[in-house]
């Protein structure tokens, strides 16, 4: 499903109008249950009816387990994702691996979020130390990354100029090196959207800083011919630049005050103050 979501924006414009993406379908799976008199339903029967003891008569009902809406474009994308999956299983090609890796990374950034810049600084700072220790202090991280045969990393042939797409000397980049800075950059984008000024200054500049940090990682790896912890270069780039720019622009205090979901706590505090 992750690959299907990634392919959809590219596939939809290429399809003829006969496909009619406005026609939608629904996949719905339900679980039926039957409670005899005097018995207690399990958790799968849902809250309420299934958890109460039936008194004097049997109880029947159903619980919705799956509800998924899709259209014909989704079906075509799903077919293409099966082709990518078959290609990866049979050939383990780096392009197929990276398609799956990119899909998982995008889904990870969509599903995970940081509530504040403070939390982002703590998370990235802790992972900075973690990555440095496990790459420079031990060989565990490098050994696992090379031996674990699954699309949990991006791989790029360093001999691409010589062998093209069939290169065999690969450089690795873990999905965490994309997802973790990514959720922080997404937080900066939401911060700018909350200001309603139409600017993407922090978002774009931090994306450029991330790219520069990634290039620096590759350069250092080639110069020293040794594995490098990507977060050693990405964390200073993704934290240092936006915080420095915010300090120069006078937005630093506002940036650290910003929270994605402050309404619940503030609402409770205001309600508590009202009724005290």
For the annotated catalytic residues, the residue numbers are 131, 177
Residue 202 CB partners (closer than 8 Å, separation 6+): 188, 189, 191, 192, 242, 245, 246
Cα 130 from Cα 219, distance rounded (Å): 22
Specify the long-range contacts of residues 109-115, CB closer than 8 Å, at least 24 apart.
Answer: 109/179, 109/182, 109/183, 109/186, 112/179, 112/183, 113/183, 113/186, 113/187, 113/260, 114/183, 114/184, 114/186, 114/187, 114/260, 115/259, 115/260, 115/261
**Which residue in this structure is represented by tokens 């109008």?**
17
- How far is 219 from 229, CA to CA, in rounded Å? 13
44 Cβ neighbours under 8 A, 6+ residues apart: 31, 33, 50, 63
**Could you write out the three-class secondary structure of 139-196?**
CHHHHHHHHCCCCCEEEEECCHHHHHHHCCCEEEEECHHHHHHHHHHHHHHHHHHHHC
Place of tokens 């690959």: 3
């Amino acid at each position: 499903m992750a690959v299907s979501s990634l392919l959809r924006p590219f596939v939809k414009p290429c399809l003829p109008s006969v496909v009619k993406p406005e026609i939608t379908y629904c996949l719905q799976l339900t679980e039926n249950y039957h409670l005899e008199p005097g018995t207690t339903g399990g958790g799968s029967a849902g809250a309420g009816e299934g958890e109460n003891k039936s008194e004097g008569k049997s109880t029947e009902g159903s619980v919705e387990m799956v509800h998924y809406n899709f259209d014909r474009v989704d079906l075509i994308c799903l077919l293409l994702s099966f082709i990518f999956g078959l290609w990866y299983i049979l050939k383990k090609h780096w392009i197929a691996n990276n398609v799956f890796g990119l899909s998982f990374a995008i889904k990870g950034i969509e599903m995970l979020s940081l509530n504040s810049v403070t939390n982002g600084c703590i998370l990235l700072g802790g992972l900075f130390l973690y990555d440095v220790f496990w790459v420079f202090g031990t060989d565990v991280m490098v050994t696992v990354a090379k031996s674990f045969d699954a699309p949990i990393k991006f791989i790029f042939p360093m001999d691409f100029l010589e062998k093209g797409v069939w290169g065999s000397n690969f450089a690795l980049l873990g999905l965490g090196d994309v997802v973790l800075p990514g959720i922080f950059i997404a937080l900066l984008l939401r911060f700018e959207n909350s200001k309603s000024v139409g600017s993407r200054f922090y978002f774009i500049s931090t994306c450029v800083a991330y790219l520069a940090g990634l290039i620096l990682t590759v350069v250092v790896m080639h110069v020293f011919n040794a594995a490098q912890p990507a977060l050693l270069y990405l964390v200073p780039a993704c934290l240092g630049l936006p915080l420095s720019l915010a300090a120069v622009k006078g937005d630093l205090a506002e940036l650290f005050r910003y929270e994605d979901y402050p309404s619940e706590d503030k609402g409770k505090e205001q309600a508590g103050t009202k009724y005290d």
